């Protein structure tokens, strides 16, 4: 992760998105790869009861190898 402040910050809320999260993150990954400058992607898991956080943990290192991705988790849906 760069020490420069990000030019783009993408915040993605997620709740029980196991069926869609992989495709969504692939789209985001392609978008930021095409951009110049620094970026960060923050995915906020809002208490999902399905496999959303596990899927995100599995695929995010490959999709965001530069480390500009964070998974933030809340215990229960708000």
Predicted confidence at residue 77, as pLDDT, reads 67
DSSP secondary structure of 46-74:
ES-SSSHHHHHHHHHHHH-TTS-EEEEEE
Whether residue 15 lies inside any domain: the answer is yes
Predicted confidence at residue 45, as pLDDT, reads 97
Predicted confidence at residue 70, as pLDDT, reads 98
Whether residue 3 lies inside any domain: the answer is no
Whether residue 2 lies inside any domain: the answer is no
Predicted confidence at residue 2, as pLDDT, reads 56
Predicted confidence at residue 74, as pLDDT, reads 85
Q: How many domains does the chain have?
A: 1
**Residue numbers of the domain that contains 34:** 8-74
Whether residue 45 lies inside any domain: the answer is yes
Residue 45 phi, psi dihedral angles, 5° rounding: -85, 115
Tens of pLDDT, residue by residue, the chain (78 residues): 556 777 889 999 999 999 999 999 999 999 998 987 889 999 999 999 999 999 999 999 999 999 999 999 987 766
Predicted confidence at residue 78, as pLDDT, reads 64
Written as six digits, the tokens of 33 are 């790869």
Whether residue 22 lies inside any domain: the answer is yes
Whether residue 1 lies inside any domain: the answer is no
């Amino acid at each position: 992760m760069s020490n420069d402040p990000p030019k783009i910050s993408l915040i993605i809320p997620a709740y029980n998105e196991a069926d869609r999260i992989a495709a969504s993150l692939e789209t985001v990954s392609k978008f930021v790869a095409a951009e110049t400058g620094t970026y960060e992607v923050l995915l906020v898991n809002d208490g999902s009861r399905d496999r959303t956080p596990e899927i995100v943990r599995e695929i995010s290192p490959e999709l965001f190898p530069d480390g500009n991705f964070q998974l933030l988790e809340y215990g229960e849906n708000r």
